[in-house]
């Protein structure tokens, strides 16, 4: 018999809405963003030397137990979140690497994760003192096509993949007299992001979005009919990513899409389950999702939901 995921209340609470590649409950996540520079400027090289810079690599270590200071459906802001932020700008003749360590004292250590208007964006902002110097650093990574941020419970996730994103990063160091010691600024297109996620799983059913036929599954613990009658049968999720309740919901949607009655104003009212609903059990049994006893429980509950005086 085929094996299928059983959705329970405990599973729903614990199931990640993103399939993580890192160890569960890890306190540190690392993002690596690499790509091609379109513009670079620094105090380390002259104009010709800066123009020769062709590539960048940003490495960001974040603390997943950081303080969440703001949250809405589109935005999450964390403070004291960045453990290290390393920028590497390089070209055929050499490169520049900056790696001051936040945490030596300072005022700003923040990352904002945003999903708004179909665009994902990560904004990093640092202002801190390290080794007697004050460092002010920023970075912004903005989606061009493929989304890369997940805000669906727990600490945000960043998707690993080969795809494009606009990147702007900047860093400035000041001495004790607040005189600028060095400065770097880069703009480019990311071609690779290494994050903490392999794939998105929007509905948290354990099936990745790219192969999930039912991307927004109904994940009640047991199969419910008409929102009130509990069949007692576990609401299994099959290999296609559809729960048993998804299959019954598809029948309701199919019935609503049927053309208008040829009788005009007279609309015959069905006194029982539709043909589609009666066939769900046989399909589930054939695929090995449920056994004979569970099939009988579903048929009985379905019929009872029509025969009883409960809400419909």
What are the tens digits of pLDDT across the range 29-72? 999 999 999 999 999 999 999 999 999 999 999 999 999 999 99
The reported pLDDT for the residue numbered 22 is 33
Same domain, 250 and 162: no
The reported pLDDT for the residue numbered 132 is 87
Same domain, 193 and 248: no
The mean pLDDT of the chain is 84
Same domain, 95 and 231: no
Tell me the two tokens of residue 113: 């994760």
- Per the domain annotation, does 301 fall within a domain? yes
The reported pLDDT for the residue numbered 125 is 96
34/120 Cα distance (integer angstroms): 17
Whole-model pTM?
0.63
Domain assignment of residue 280, given as a range: 203-307
Reply yes or no on whether the pLDDT at 303 is more than 60.
yes
Confidence of residue 237 (pLDDT cuts 50, 70, 90): very high
**What pLDDT, in 10s, does the model give residues 116-157?**
988 999 999 999 998 889 999 999 999 998 889 988 678 998
The reported pLDDT for the residue numbered 52 is 96
Same domain, 212 and 103: no
Final residue of a domain: which of 145, 173, 200? Answer: 200
User: Contact, 197 vs 19, CB < 8 A?
Assistant: yes
Reply yes or no on whether the pLDDT at 267 is more than 80.
no
The reported pLDDT for the residue numbered 311 is 54
How many CB atoms neighbour CB 242 within 10 A? 22
- Per the domain annotation, does 7 fall within a domain? no
Final residue of a domain: which of 200, 233, 265? Answer: 200
Same domain, 77 and 174: yes
Q: Choose between 183 and 241: higher pLDDT.
A: 183
The reported pLDDT for the residue numbered 17 is 32
Please return the burial class of 149, using the count of CB atoms within 10 Å of its CB with bins 0-12, 13-18 and 19+.
Answer: buried
- Per the domain annotation, does 12 fall within a domain? no
Q: Which of 57, 137, 141, 140 is nearest to 91 (CA)?
A: 57
Same domain, 179 and 223: no
Mean pLDDT of 76-100: 93
Mean pLDDT of 203-214: 76
Confidence of residue 207 (pLDDT cuts 50, 70, 90): confident
217/212 Cα distance (integer angstroms): 9
The reported pLDDT for the residue numbered 238 is 92
Same domain, 162 and 217: no
Reply yes or no on whether the pLDDT at 258 is more than 70.
no
The helix (run of H) or strand (run of E) holding residue 79 is strand 75-79
Same domain, 150 and 24: yes
Tell me the two tokens of residue 180: 């600028």
Final residue of a domain: which of 200, 228, 244? Answer: 200
Same domain, 104 and 122: yes
Percent of the residues in the chain that have a pLDDT greater than 90, as a whole number: 62
The reported pLDDT for the residue numbered 252 is 87
């Amino acid at each position: 018999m085929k094996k299928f995921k059983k959705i329970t209340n405990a599973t729903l609470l614990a199931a990640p809405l993103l399939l993580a590649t890192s160890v569960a409950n890890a306190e540190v996540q690392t993002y690596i963003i690499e790509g091609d520079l379109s513009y670079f400027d620094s105090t380390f090289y002259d104009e010709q030397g800066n123009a020769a810079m062709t590539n960048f690599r940003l490495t960001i270590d974040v603390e997943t137990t950081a303080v969440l200071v703001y949250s809405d459906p589109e935005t999450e802001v964390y403070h004291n979140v960045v453990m290290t932020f390393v920028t590497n700008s390089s070209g055929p003749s050499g490169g520049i690497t900056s790696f001051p360590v936040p945490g030596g004292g300072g005022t700003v250590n923040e990352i904002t994760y945003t999903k708004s208007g179909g665009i994902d964006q990560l904004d990093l902002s640092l202002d801190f003192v390290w080794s007697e110097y004050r460092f002010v650093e920023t970075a912004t990574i903005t989606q061009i096509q493929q989304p890369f941020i997940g805000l669906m419970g727990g600490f945000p996730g960043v998707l690993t993949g080969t795809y494009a994103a606009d990147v702007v990063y900047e860093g400035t160091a000041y001495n004790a007299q607040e005189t600028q010691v060095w400065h770097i600024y880069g703009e480019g297109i990311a071609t690779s992001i290494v994050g903490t996620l392999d794939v998105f799983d929007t509905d948290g059913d354990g099936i990745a979005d790219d192969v999930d036929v039912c991307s927004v599954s109904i994940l009640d613990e047991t199969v419910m009919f008409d929102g009130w009658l509990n069949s007692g049968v576990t609401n299994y999720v099959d290999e296609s990513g559809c729960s048993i309740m998804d299959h019954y919901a598809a029948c309701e949607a199919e019935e609503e899409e049927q053309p208008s009655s040829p009788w005009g104003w007279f609309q015959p009212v069905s006194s029982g389950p539709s043909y589609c609903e009666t066939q769900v059990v046989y399909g589930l049994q054939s695929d090995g999702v449920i056994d004979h006893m569970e099939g009988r429980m579903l048929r009985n509950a379905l019929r009872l939901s029509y025969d009883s005086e409960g809400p419909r």
